[in-house]
Amino acid sequence: MDYFKPDQEVYGLLKPNIDAHTLGITHIAQLLKDCGVTAIIGDESVSKILTQHENQQAKSDLYDWVRSNRVSRLGFSYRLDPAEGCEAFGWLFHFLKSANLLSVDGGPVKAVYFAGLPSACEAVQRNFGNKVTVFNGDETPVESLLKLGLPRTLIPDFLMQSSEYDDFRMHLGKALIHKEAHRSICPSTRPTYSGYGTFQDRLLTRLNRAKRSHQLPLFRAHVGPYRSDRSEAVQLFKSWLHGLARAGFLDIASIGTSQLTQERFGEDWSGLPNGGGVPINTPQEYRDAWDASRPMLLRTYAGTKNIVSLAKMYEETINIAWHALSLWWFCKIDGRGPNTLFQNLCEHLDTLSFVARSDKPFEPNVPHHFAFRGADDVSCILSAFLAAQAAKLRGVRYLILQIMLNTPSQTWGIQDIAKARAMLHLVRTLEDKNFSIIMQPRAGLDFFSSDTTTAMAQLAAVTMLMDDIEPHDRNSPPIIHVVSYTEGNRLADPDIINESIQITKAALNNYRTYKQKGETPDLMKNEDLMKRTNHLVKEAYDVLNIIQERVPRPYSAEGLYKIFAAGFLPVPYLWGGKNEFDNAINWRTRFFNGGVVVVDDDSKPISAKERAEKASNNLLNIRLPLLLPFQEVEGLI
Domain boundaries, the chain: 6-145, 528-621
Pairing mode, if any, of strands 362-364 and 252-255? unpaired
Amino acid in position 321: A
Mean pLDDT of 514-530: 91
**Does the structure show a pLDDT above 90 at 453?**
yes
Q: What is the CATH number of domain 6-145?
A: 3.40.50.2300
Burial environment of residue 422 by CB neighbours within 10 A (0 to 12, 13 to 18, 19 or more): buried
Query: How does pLDDT run across 42-84, given as a tens digit for each residue?
Result: 887 888 888 777 778 888 999 999 999 999 999 999 877 788 8
Of the candidate ranges 10-14, 52-56, 181-185, 518-522, the one whose mean pLDDT is the lowest: 52-56
User: Which residue, 128, 90, 609, 41, is CA-closest to 374?
Assistant: 41
Q: What is the pLDDT of residue 186?
A: 95
Work out the number of other CB atoms within 10 angstroms of the CB of residue 287.
13
Q: What is the pLDDT of residue 335?
A: 86
How far apart CA 105 and CA 378 sit, in angstroms, is: 48
Q: What is the pLDDT of residue 492?
A: 93
Mean pLDDT of 463-470: 98
Of the candidate ranges 27-41, 326-340, 492-506, the one whose mean pLDDT is the lowest: 27-41
User: Which residue, 477, 526, 480, 473, is CA-closest to 500?
Assistant: 480
How far apart CA 412 and CA 30 sit, in angstroms, is: 17
**Does the structure show a pLDDT above 60 at 627?**
no
pLDDT band, very low/low/confident/very high, at 446 (cuts 50, 70, 90):
confident
Q: What is the pLDDT of residue 22?
A: 59
CA-based torsion, 363, 227, 493, 15: positive or negative: negative
User: Which residues, 6 or more positions from 42, have their beta carbon under 8 angstroms from its beta carbon?
Assistant: 12, 13, 14, 15, 50, 65
How far apart CA 403 and CA 439 sit, in angstroms, is: 7
Query: How does pLDDT run across 381-437, given as a tens digit for each residue?
Result: 999 999 999 999 999 999 999 999 999 888 999 999 999 999 999 999 999 999 999
Of the candidate ranges 86-95, 126-135, 266-275, 296-305, the one whose mean pLDDT is the lowest: 266-275
Calculate the average pLDDT of the chain: 92
Distances in Å between the Cα of 466 and the Cα atoms of 73, 382, 510 are: 39, 20, 13
Of the candidate ranges 188-202, 568-582, 618-632, the one whose mean pLDDT is the lowest: 618-632
**Does the structure show a pLDDT above 80 at 635?**
no
